[in-house]
Amino acid sequence: MAGAVTIGWGSSVPDNVVTNDDLAKRLDTSNEWILERTGIRERHMGGVTSELAIAAAKEALASAGMEPGDIDLLVLATTTPDALVPGTSAIVQGALGTRGGAFDVNAACSGFIYSLVAAHGFVLAGSKRVLLIGAETLSSITDMNDRTLAVIVGDGAAAVVLEAVPGQGELLSWNLGADGLLRHLLCCEHGGYLFMDGKEIFRRAVRIVVDSAREAIVAAGVTSEQVDLFVPHQANVRIIDAARERLGIPEERAMVTIDRYGNTSSSSIPLALVAAITEGRLHAGDLVLLSGFGAGMTWGSALLRWGG
């Protein structure tokens, strides 16, 4: 049996920081409303998905002490690809020169969890080192005059390098789900703008996250009290708080980065994970619960024993 452990990490966000007050200058909104209803203070906006992905990947490779040629699989989660064809993973692969395969995953805000589980599956099938990236430029598909969405979205990328190890590795359990009959709640047609039924998503999100997280917790044979760090998808701090409370995880054990990044879809969980690592909030042996939900609808959770 082969598992994988995280040996490198990195992130990249556009230089352009947009505060709530910046948005309030041209939209019928306010810093108070945005902060109170979403938990967001500012977000980074701009850039190109592949370029953010490449920058995050370079940082992750450097922190792992690896060269691109040491990688034998590249998985890139995004809902905002540079082009319809080819995959953004191909553009990133071409720029970096990684070996082996490269493919995109579009599972919206659950994309990083889907990719993480897939990467572990590839390791089980023989891959040695996987470069896993979440990268988004949600602002590029958002109508900046639509105050519902303009205040929520953010751009950025984060990457991790996974290395095969003998034994179980980091991934203790996982849970993935989808319900395509709910696709109308959050969607974007070719060439169009993102549409979101925020109220309905909010109503469903807490239950979806809690159920999915519980499935992963039970499958690993642990309890939520044992979770050292909860790293949820950053869509709304009220969703994070409600899910965390229902799971019985105290506030200090949840990673919240929505205040600085907004909702960055596929990048949201890895950006929060990388922030947790660089801020010293993760230690070898910690039990880490990743949980997300998004368009599709899709959802997923992964329980990791940090450092394997």
Q: Interface mask (CB under 6 A) for ligand COA, residues 30-69, using x and -?
A: ---x---xx-------------------------------
Rounded least distance, CB 108 to ligand COA, Å: 6
Q: What is the 3-state secondary structure (H, E, C) of 52-102?
A: HHHHHHHHHHHHHCCCHHHCCEEEEECCCCCCCCCCHHHHHHHHHCCCCEE
Rounded least distance, CB 223 to ligand COA, Å: 27
> Quick check: 91 binds ligand COA (CB under 6 A)?
no
Non-local (6+) Cβ contacts of 31 within 8 A are 19, 20, 21, 24, 41
Rounded least distance, CB 267 to ligand COA, Å: 12
Q: Which stretch binds ligand COA (CB under 6 A): 2-10, 198-206, 207-215, 222-230?
A: 198-206
Catalytic residue among 106, 109, 120, 236: 109
Nearest CB to ligand COA, comparing residues 3 and 262: 262
> Quick check: 109 binds ligand COA (CB under 6 A)?
yes
Q: By CB under 6 A, how many residues form the interface with ligand COA?
A: 20
Nearest CB to ligand COA, comparing residues 33 and 193: 33
> What distance, in Å, lies between the first and last C-alpha atoms of the chain?
13
Q: Say whether 233 is catalytic.
A: yes
Angle 287-12-137 from CA coordinates, rounded to 5°? 105
Non-local (6+) Cβ contacts of 143 within 8 A are 149, 150, 193, 194
Query: CA nearest 110: which of 266, 303, 280, 225?
Result: 266
Cβ atoms 271, 279 nearer than 8 A: no
> Quick check: 147 binds ligand COA (CB under 6 A)?
yes
Residue type, 10: G
> Quick check: 26 binds ligand COA (CB under 6 A)?
no
For residues 229-268, which are near ligand COA according to CB under 6 A? 235-236, 239, 263
Rounded least distance, CB 20 to ligand COA, Å: 9
Cβ atoms within 10 Å, residue 66: 18
Binding ligand COA (rule: CB under 6 A), the pick from 76, 102, 201, 269 is: 201
> Quick check: 148 binds ligand COA (CB under 6 A)?
yes
Catalytic residue among 20, 175, 236, 263: 263
Rounded least distance, CB 152 to ligand COA, Å: 6
Bridge partners for 129 per DSSP: 163
Q: Say whether 263 is catalytic.
A: yes
Query: How big is the chain, counted in residues?
Result: 308
Residue type, 173: S
Binding ligand COA (rule: CB under 6 A), the pick from 31, 198, 219, 286 is: 198
Residue type, 283: H
Separation of alpha carbons 168 and 5, rounded Å = 9
Nearest CB to ligand COA, comparing residues 44 and 204: 204
Helix (H, G, I), strand (E, B) or coil at 192: coil
Does the N-terminal peptide bond of residue 297 adopt cis geometry, omega within 30 degrees of 0? Answer: yes
Query: CA nearest 294: which of 257, 269, 271, 261?
Result: 269
Binding ligand COA (rule: CB under 6 A), the pick from 26, 199, 207, 283 is: 199
Nearest CB to ligand COA, comparing residues 232 and 308: 232
Provide the 8-state DSSP code for 106.
Answer: -
Give me the residues that bind ligand COA (CB under 6 A), please.
29, 33, 37-38, 109, 147-148, 151, 186, 196, 198-199, 201-202, 205, 235-236, 239, 263, 294
Kindly list the catalytic residues: 109, 233, 263
